[in-house]
Structure 1
Amino acid sequence: ALKFMKKLMKRHGPARTITTDGLRSCKAAMKELGNTEKQEIGCWANNRVENSHLPFRRRERAMLRFRQMKTLQKFSSVHAAFHNHFNQDRHLISRETYKAQRSAAMAEWQTLAA
């Protein structure tokens, strides 16, 4: 945490407030940097930060089952291609557009798989 915060402060300069979770490493790093009064720890203060990590955390959970890094990397590359191909923002488009894009993606995937 200390190394990360030093790098951030070097790149972006001093911050007015720093929102962290309740980990001891963050508290110790803030104490060493002399920013304890700038640290914000609250029940919902860290939600935006944690929610930005959700796709990474989902992929991380799938990776726990792998014993070797090589098989993990192989799975990740295939999964990323498949997920990016079929992941459509359903909530942003109409049903007809979604169905057309989904069938086009499936047809393209079947030609690639054949």
Structure 2
Amino acid sequence: QSRRNRRAAVRFFRKLLKRQGSVPRELVTDKLASYPAAHRTVMPSVRHVTAQYANNRAEVSHQPTRQRERQMRRFKSAAHLQRFASVHGVAQNLFRVGRHLLRAVHYRLLRTRSLSLWGEVTCAC
């Protein structure tokens, strides 16, 4: 949304209520000043909670979506992303050796093996 005023908040709350179909017992938001004004307009009987960490569950539930969006920024389409991700996951396991769990000599040995294997797989002679 381009604005974060009372009108935008009222429109947002009405859209949520329409989609949900029922009035919630309580409304959990951050402390944006336009939310209480919109709350009084749209659903005054519902308890409004603005405690500091109350909306953390909602924020965390959006994390996977944000991660996907962050990955999508580099690709032109979802199909390109899917093609890359399917190959990248397998190849990444070759190179992501638990370095903190190994001594330097063993890490270098595994790294050399994985690079030679990668050369064979990609036909880089």
TM-score, normalising length: structure 2: 0.45
TM-score, normalising length: structure 1: 0.49
Structure with greater Cα Rg: 2
